[in-house]
Structure 1
């Protein structure tokens, strides 16, 4: 078997898309080493990524792993979720969770989501008025999805600050020990939250899951807490990074931004292009072949770890003409940012709604908004798994309070 090569070093952090382009030119499937030395298979061509994500022979169940890289380490009580179970349990859990994320149910949330967007925008405007500059991540992109997901899970408002701090430590840690402590805190918090919702159920997703279990469904206590954790993490991370990275993309592509301001009805199209162009999750959840599988002309043994690169797939010229160009008028914007196949994101309608309402509100209320520092000075967190802004200093007046 070919030796795993290191590709995620300093050059990758500085220009990940350049590394993906080189890998695609050499072939679709590569044996690479993660920063900790773990060997994995990285799939880079769009056609193979799309096919692999829909291929049932690539399992997310760790029991099919031969002991290599298995992803983010979680305590067992948080690991019984849709991203780590076999097909039968996945279907059962997905059917239960899906009840709270149907397009019709999400559409009923529009007023509440817009209220959360307006509240975060008020916070951003107030900071701009006071200081002349504000961090869009801290004041807007970070708090918004946590507020929305907090409402879904009926998190008490007085717990938001602690809650947000723990999530921030998991998403963008400053040190190696920080995530483990945050996971322990979130786990304890969710266990207590489940107990509170059982004692006083409401009209929220968590209460619905509890009711399903208490009616005799096979949903275990660990599955309840794990599902709440997954909803929290999946609903916070991607949306936060899409808002911050999406806004930066718009602000640094003046012609596209001008076209969008001239025709605001194009915003849904722009959002889909942002999902393709600025996808923060560079790889899908790791997979393990249940049998030897050939993909891209390479035979991958059963049990090895496979990473399907969404970021590389989205810049593949074999699928997208001029893929490195951000173009809200692009004809083919069919992306993989929200998954494909049986693991397509249940929260996709809610993610689209949040990103669309967030960008519409920011562009409408802050027409003069612009980055406060040159792009080269922005601080990114870049790993083989995701690329996200740690902060986005912005400036520009002209803000208005919600409803004004």
Structure 2
């Protein structure tokens, strides 16, 4: 197997729109491949399902960037309060990870998530009420983005009016394509985010509510189970991780159905399939691509390949979740597929804590769209859809048209027929 790194071509719109032909080739060429990914990072891609599953539970592979030998990984973080950025459970290992996750998990019990269903449905209906009369919508801006932002804002006790600010700051920190973001821009965004969180946490301390941040402040103030840096970093993680991938799950799931109208019709006719369908959207074209980063604490052998200490290992969930050794006919969207076992939410101790909430939001949002927007179709050609070019995958915009309550469909020309070549 050649160890010459393969460059993932983020400057190529065709790859950004549909990376799966290249992903398939990489998986077929070998279970572990060197590659250059977003931000010019040199990584070792783990491309097959069983190897990825094992890697995500291997204690020799750390989540802490400080175990990486590539200094650019730390340099890409804002210099200001760099340690604060590191002090969250996503970038920590036991025992710190165990303690932090135990504290935060109290807000994500199955009972609490289930109790959010009526409110999520109410928000979804209100957002669609605003676009239904027009017979057309842009489903990222009109639904996929504001829904999870509103839900996580309410769960954390953050005023919804502030959501535009932390969305803007988050966008400034994201790595997109081949280029790293401007360090000065990242530093400024983190300065503003840090100042906002500090002020908001102070407000919660003086006027606590029945929300997760108030509970975390109590753990910091009374029980000394959270340091100041951990409190700020955890608040940051929950705000950002609490919405950004769910936006892509909703937008990407609807886009997948529009590209596969037989599956859209099946799911509309059989709404009881929605829970399995959401798992299939996550497997088929999940919100993280190519996958999940880990850092080798020592030389590690994966599938016969020795990965040196300090190297970045990317468990390529987007590639592994189409491994034919695990999923029959993996390149076909099948909303009736059962027992997916996908890696889109990770695996092991770092399995996504917010997965039940993301699933619920995806089921309600996509199910309500199918129920309330008849004759749903793209309002542009499939080739005109633009996709995020970095490690977070989803449509940037999703213009659609449908039949309005008056019985008329928006008359703007747009494709309603799909060919096999349109399908991702």
TM exceeds 0.5?
yes
Partner of residue 390, structure 1: 396
Does the 8 Å CA contact 1:49/1:308 hold for their aligned counterparts?
A: yes
Question: Counterpart of 1:99 in 2: which secondary structure?
Answer: helix
1:315 equivalent in structure 2: 322
Q: Is the 8 A contact 2:67 2:297 kept in 1?
A: yes
Cα deviation for residue 394 of structure 1 reads 1.1
| Residue 257 to residue 35, structure 1, CA distance change in 2 (3 Å) | closer
Distance 1:30 1:288, change over 3 A: same
Match of 1:148 among 146, 151, 160: 151
Matched, 1:261 2:265: no
Computed over aligned residues only, the root mean square deviation of the Cα atoms, in angstroms, reads 2.3
Normalization by structure 2: what TM-score?
0.87
Match of 2:383 among 360, 376, 385: 376
- Paired residue for 2:293, among 286, 289, 303? 286
Q: 1:399 to 1:320 in 2, by over 3 A?
A: farther
Over 3 Å counting, the alpha-carbon distance change for 1:353 and 1:36 in structure 2 is: closer
* Residue 40 (str. 1) matches residue 65 (str. 2): no
Gap change, CA 1:30 and 1:373, over 3 Å in 2: same
Evaluate the alpha carbon distance shift between residue 50 and residue 73 of structure 1 in structure 2; reply closer, same or farther with a 3 A threshold: same
Look up the SS of the partner of 1:70 in the other structure.
helix
Residue pairs, 1:22-41, within 5 angstroms: 22-34=25-37, 36-41=39-44
Structure-2 change in CA distance of 1:188 and 1:389 (3 Å): same
| SS in structure 1 at match of 2:45 | strand
Match of 1:80 in 2: 87
Deviations 1:261-308 (A, max 9, x none): 221111111111111112020144421122211111101112111111
- Give the secondary-structure state (helix, strand or coil) at the position aligned to 1:353: helix
* Pairing 1:50-69 to 2, within 5 Å after superposition: 50-68=53-71
Please list, as runs of the form range in 1=range in 2, the aligned pairs for 1:70-149 lying within 5 A after superposition: 70=73, 73-74=77-78, 75-125=82-132, 129=134, 132-149=135-152
Deviation at 1:246, TM superposition (A): 0.3
With over 3 angstroms needed to count, the CA separation of the structure-2 counterparts of 1:399 and 1:342, relative to structure 1, is farther
Answer yes or no: is the 8 Å Cα contact 1:82–1:227 preserved in 2: yes
What TM-score do you get using the length of structure 1 for normalisation? 0.91
| Equivalent residues in 2 for 1:156-305, closer than 5 Å | 156-170=159-173, 176-177=181-182, 180-305=187-312
Give the distance between the partners of 1:164 and 1:84, measured in 2 at CA.
21
Q: Is the 8 A contact 2:60 2:298 kept in 1?
A: yes
Give the deviation of 1:156 after TM superposition. Answer: 1.8
Structure 2 residue aligned with 1:4: 5
CA contact (8 A) 1:69 1:305 kept: no
Q: Can you list the C-alpha shifts for 1:17-39, whole angstroms capped at 9, x where unaligned?
A: 11111111110101122354432
Report the CA distance shift for 1:332/1:289 in structure 2 as closer, same or farther (over 3 A). Answer: same
Distance 1:31 1:260, change over 3 A: same
Relative to structure 1, is the Cα distance of residues 212 and 235 closer, same or farther in structure 2, using a 3 angstrom cutoff?
A: same
Structure 2 residues without counterparts, runs of 5 or longer: 407-424
Verify the 8 A CA contact 1:81 1:226 in the aligned structure 2: yes
- Which stretch shows the higher mean deviation, 216-225 or 310-319? 216-225
What is the match of residue 358 of structure 2?
Answer: 351
Q: How many angstroms apart in 2 are the aligned matches of 1:165 and 1:173? A: 15
2:52 to 49, 57, 60: 49
Q: Measure the CA separation in 2 of the matches of 1:180 and 1:362.
A: 39
Q: How far did residue 171 of structure 1 move?
A: 5.5
* Larger deviation, residues 55-64 vs 180-189: 180-189
Quote the offset at 1:368 in angstroms: 2.5
Aligned mates of 1:43, 1:251 — CA distance in 2: 30
CA distance in 1, matches of 2:186, 2:368: 32
Report how many aligned residue pairs link the two structures. 395
Q: CA deviation at 1:63?
A: 2.8
